[in-house]
Amino acid sequence: MSEQAYPDALQPQYRMHWYTIERVLGQGGFGITYLARDTNLDQLVAIKEYLPVEVATRRPDATVRSRSDGQRERYRWGLDRFIQEARTLARFDHPNIVRVHSVFEFNGTAYMVMRFEEGDNLAALLERRGTLPERDLLRILLPILDGLELMHNAGFIHRDIKPDNIHIRADGSPVLLDFGSARHALGKAHTLTILVAPGYAPFEQYHSSSENQGPWTDIYGLGATCYRAIAGIPPMDAIARSKGILGSTREVLVPARNVGSGRYSAQLLAAIDHALEFAEKNRPQSVAEWRRELLGEASAAPAVQDKAAAAAPQRAEPSAAPPVAPPSAPAVVPPQSAMRAHGAPPMAEAPMARSGWSGVRAPIAWAIAGATAGAIAIAVFALIPTPRGIETEQKLAESKQQLEAERKRLEEERKRDEEKRRHDELVRKRFEEQQKQEEAKRLREEQARLEEQRKLDEARKRLEEQQLKLARSSKPPTTPATKPTPQPVIATRPPPPVIPVEPEPSEAPPVVALAKPRPTPQAEQLARGEGALARRDYAGALELLTPLAKDGNTRAQVRLAEMYASGQGVRQNTIQSYIWYSLAARGGNTSAAAGRDRMAARLQPAEIAQADKVVDSMRGR
């Protein structure tokens, strides 16, 4: 998987204690799971990092911090729960629950070390095969129930059961993964916003409170997973189902007994439908109860009722005699939703009759007639308004209001998130534009400086040439030495006095030789460093500029600050850029103050205070 797919993940070969990260296995709302190597034991492990994307983010130095000071308490609370739950889960030693080896704090967050299981997850298996036969499905489901029951007995619920979190080992045995979302079922609710898997999460999990969550919540996830295995698609999302339950539209979930009829046993389909009941109180309340339904070990009373309901025909064949009903009771059977609304127990739907009443023995016929009459009497009684029915209708109305309020709240949150996303995008674009402008300005200044340096070099070269010409022209001609010839002495009159004549001013002043200024070693090193930077030789520039910056050269300090701010040749580091800008500003470079303030806007107050201490120590050195 490419690094762009997981921008918040640690890089491969990153080391934590004796663990080395190899690659990312997956990312969820609460953290990132890595494949790592334990160099102590020389074996592969899975490490889950606590990184709730809602309240935390990765810093350039690989640490994890809360997104704001206001979210710091929520982040720390979740971190403490993550560590506590890892320690509790480490006590579980079950072959169908992933084994937790250790937990430790690092990078401002925590890491849960788990056994790495070879194989493939159930989601990938279903993606390839579409559906599973009943025998294969039970071979996966029943061991998972054993491990989940152990978890429930310890007071924990998984809350994220779906095909992606059920792993199939190479030997075919299943193991339940990803306990990073597990939460204790007891105590006051104080959780982060719940991140759910649509189709596999019940309606009560869409609320931030966990008071209504329990084993029945995980049973819903298992029922949805089984539904996916028999139907080829996951069940309808609980929010969409709620509209049908509350009457704004019809129920959109096709029951498992209709989807898998003829391909799966009736007891398996009935158990799946029972697990997918919308209201939590209508589902099995424990794993043991649901296991009995899956294996056909339910109590005798429901079995008799099911047999009676199965024998009652929904549509009689032409040759079948109509069932006898009491004259005073209307032959009307109310729908299941109406019976639930008035507090009556639900009736099992009768399958389509395939034969008439002819040939049926008398005892069975009387039993069916009695069961039918009893069902009609219950239905008539359920249609009579009762105080309990009125109270149920009131609760249903309140539920509608709560659902509408929840829908509005979610819509407002969506709008706020969208507005925040647009704002962040605008800020990012402005920052990039500012960076481009500053980079263009820096390049223009660098070009102007190089052009000025070129002109100075040309002027110095011309001056040297003129000095050389002048030196050549002022040298006297060399002639061979000769003896002076004696001249005859001739008597003459004394010469007239010489009158000094003022010399006429020459048109051109004499050329004065200027001494060539010798650049200092620091200036030469700075020029070479800036030249390397212009050639994009960032390693050479860093090697030349760093000693000068440490010696107090403000220009070299500004160049290093720019490199760390833009990530040219070095890893982008806002704190290091702030330190170099601050040193240059304190050294008298006025343009560095603006860069220092720009970097300070990206740092937390604690980081600025720590960086200022570094600046003070370097200035005092």
Tokens representing 459 are 């002027």
Are 127 and 270 part of one and the same domain?
A: yes
**Residue 309's pLDDT band (cuts 50, 70, 90):** very low
Domain boundary among 116, 131, 166: 116
Q: How far is Cα 202 from Cα 212, in angstroms, rounded to an integer?
A: 11
| 148 assigned to some structural domain | yes
pLDDT of the residue at 281: 92
Distance CA 56, CA 122 (A): 30
Residue 418 lies in a domain: no
Does pLDDT of 122 surpass 50? yes
Tell me the average pLDDT across 166-191: 68
pLDDT of residue 192: 44
The DSSP secondary-structure symbol of 297 reads -
Q: Could you tell me if residue 472 is inside a domain?
A: no
Residue 225's pLDDT band (boundaries 50, 70, 90)? very high
User: By the 8 A CB rule, do 460 and 516 touch?
Assistant: yes
Token match 């929010």: residue? 239
Looking at per-residue pLDDT, the higher value among 524 and 247 belongs to 524
Angstrom distance (rounded) from CA 243 to CA 527: 73
Which of 100-104, 149-153, 469-473 shows the lowest mean pLDDT across its residues? Answer: 469-473
Q: At residue 160, does pLDDT exceed 80?
A: yes
Per-residue pLDDT, averaged over 487-514, amounts to 51
Contact 337, 279 (CB under 8 A): no
On the question of pLDDT at 202 being above 50, the answer is: yes
The pLDDT of residue 293: 93
pLDDT greater than 90 at residue 579: yes
Token code pair at residue 464: 């040297």
Radius of gyration of the chain (CA): 43
Question: In the predicted model, is pLDDT for residue 291 greater than 90?
Answer: yes
Q: What is the mean pLDDT of the chain?
A: 76
At 333 the pLDDT is 34
Q: Which residues of 1-10 are buried (b: 16+ CB within 10 A; e: fewer)?
A: eeeeebeebb
Q: 75, 91, 199, 205: which is closest to 150 by C-alpha? A: 91
Across 498-509, average pLDDT: 51
Domains contained in the chain, number: 2
| pLDDT for res 340 | 38
Query: What pLDDT was estimated at residue 319?
Result: 34
> Are 145 and 293 members of one domain?
yes
Last residue of a domain, one of 235, 270, 298: 298
* Whole-angstrom distance, CA of residue 31 vs CA of residue 79: 11
Q: What pLDDT does residue 392 have?
A: 58
Do residues 54 and 69 share a domain? yes
3-state secondary structure of 476: coil
Mean pLDDT score, 406-422: 83
The residue-averaged pLDDT of 560-574 equals 89
Q: Are 117 and 98 in contact (CB under 8 A)?
A: yes
Is 567 part of a structural domain of the chain?
no
Alpha-carbon distance of 597 to 583, in angstroms, equals: 13
Q: Hunting for tokens 């480490």 — which residue is that?
A: 90
The residues facing 307 across adjacent strands are none
- Give pLDDT, residue 516: 52
Highest mean pLDDT among 145-149, 181-185, 509-513: 145-149
Residues 558, 581 contacting (CB under 8 angstroms): yes
Q: What is the pTM of this model?
A: 0.47
The whole-number pLDDT of residue 449 equals 87
From 126-135, 354-363, 390-399, 491-500, the region with the lowest mean pLDDT: 354-363
Average pLDDT over residues 517-535: 84
Q: Are residues 109 and 123 in the same domain?
A: no
Q: Please report, for the domain that includes residue 52, its CATH number.
A: 3.30.200.20
Q: Which residues form the domain of 159? A: 119-298
Is 44 found in the same domain as 148?
no
Half-sphere exposure (Cβ direction) of 408: Cα atoms closer than 13 Å: 5
The Cα 599–Cα 578 span in angstroms is: 5
What sign has the CA pseudo-torsion 242, 245, 251, 254? Answer: positive
pLDDT in tens, 322-339: 333 333 333 333 333 333
Whether 45 is in a domain gets the answer: yes
Give burial (CB, 10 Å; 0-12/13-18/19+) of 292.
middle
Query: What does residue 507 show for φ and ψ, rounded to 5 degrees?
Result: -70, -35
Measured CA distances, 197 to 119, 176, 203 (Å): 23, 16, 11
141/224 Cα distance (integer angstroms): 12
**Does the pLDDT value for residue 382 go beyond 80?**
no
Going by pLDDT thresholds of 50, 70 and 90, the confidence category of residue 509 is: low
102 and 132 belong to one structural domain:
no
Same domain, 14 and 152: no
H or E element at residue 156: strand 156-157
Q: How confident is the model at residue 121 (pLDDT cuts 50, 70, 90)?
A: confident
Confirm whether 458 is domain-assigned: no
Select the highest-mean-pLDDT range: 26-30, 86-90, 94-98, 482-486. 94-98
Torsion of CA 600, 602, 607, 610, to 10 degrees: -30
Q: Give me the percent of the chain exceeding a pLDDT of 90.
A: 33
- What would the DSSP string read from start to end of 561-596? HHHHHHTSSS---HHHHHHHHHHHHHTT-HHHHHHH
For 64-87, write each residue's pLDDT tens digit.
999 998 899 999 998 998 898 888
* Residues 196, 291 within the same domain: yes
My answer on whether 80 and 143 are in the same domain is no
Phi and psi at 29, nearest 5°, equal -70, -25
pLDDT of 493 reads 55
Q: How confident is the model at residue 443 (pLDDT cuts 50, 70, 90)?
A: confident
Q: Tell me: the pLDDT tens digits for 462-496?
A: 888 887 888 777 655 555 554 555 555 444 455 55
* DSSP annotation of 535: T
What per-residue confidence (pLDDT) applies to 62?
92
**Cα gap 234→223, rounded to integer Å:** 10
- Quick one: 128 and 252 in the same domain? yes
- The separation between the first and the last C-alpha atoms of the chain, rounded to the nearest angstrom, is 47
Work out the average pLDDT over 197-220.
82
DSSP H helical ranges for 203-316: 215-231, 238-245, 256-259, 266-275, 287-294, 300-311
**What is the Cα 349 distance to its own chain's centre?**
45
Whether 398 has a pLDDT exceeding 80, the answer reads: no
Distance CA 212, CA 157 (A): 12
Closest CA to 585 of 597, 568, 575: 597
pLDDT at 143 over 90: yes
- Locus of tokens 């199939």: 168
Q: What is the pLDDT of residue 504?
A: 53
The neighbour count for residue 164, using CB atoms within 10 Å, is 18
Give the list of residues 6+ apart from residue 225 with CB closer than 8 angstroms, or none.
Answer: 122, 161, 162, 163, 166, 200
Give the contacts of 67 (CB within 8 A, at least 6 positions apart). 55, 56, 57
CATH value at residue 159: 1.10.510.10
Mean pLDDT on 367-373:
43
- Residue 179: its pLDDT value, please? 65
Q: CA-CA distance, 224 to 272, in Å (whole number)?
A: 8
Phi, psi of 12 (to 5 degrees): -60, 145
pLDDT at 186 over 80: no
Within a domain: 186? yes
Tell me the mean pLDDT in the region 254-265: 92
DSSP for 321-344, written as a single string: PPPP--TTS-S----HHHHHHTTP
Asked which of 250, 282, 298 is the last residue of a domain, the reply is 298
Amino acid found at 272:
I
Same domain, 158 and 273: yes
The confidence band for 427, taking pLDDT boundaries of 50, 70 and 90, is: confident
CB of 398 within 8 A of CB of 353? no
Strand partners for 109: 106
Do 89 and 207 fall within a single domain?
A: no
Residue 202 in contact with residue 166, Cβ under 8 Å? no
- Please indicate, yes or no, if residue 569 is contained in any of the structural domains: no
Element (H, E) at 527: helix 521-534
- In this predicted model, which residue has the larger pLDDT, 406 or 161? 161
Q: Are strands 109-115 and 100-106 parallel, antiparallel or unpaired?
A: antiparallel
User: 538, 566 in Cβ contact below 8 A?
Assistant: no
The predicted structure's pLDDT at residue 570: 86
Q: Is the pLDDT confidence value at 582 over 50? A: yes
Contact residues for 6 (Cβ-Cβ < 8 A; gap 6+): 24, 27, 32
